[in-house]
Amino acid sequence: MPLYEYVCEADGTVLELMRPMAEADKPVPDPAGKGRVFTRKFSTFASKGAEGRSVSLGMGGGGGGGCGCGKPHGCGSH
């Protein structure tokens, strides 16, 4: 199940919730009961590859490549 981040625009509080994709944009109840409104935050994720290179899996430009350029092995590949 995906992990989503939600932010309260009023005070900046960030929540992380595991919920089905079908519920990703449904309203999030305020855990403190203060009536705050939380909206889904677009998150980025980074990890180290097998060769120790960083790979960013955020909202980049490419079509699933190793970097935003869309090439499978990054901008410097041939």
User: In which band, very low, low, confident or very high, does the pLDDT at 61 lie, cut at 50, 70 and 90?
Assistant: very low
- For the whole model, what pTM was predicted? 0.56
Contact residues for 50 (Cβ-Cβ < 8 A; gap 6+) = none
Q: What is the pLDDT of residues 10-44, one digit of tens each?
A: 999 999 999 999 999 999 999 999 999 999 998 77
Higher pLDDT, 49 or 54: 49
Domain boundaries, the chain: 3-43
Short-list 43, 50, 53, 49, CA closest to 14? 43
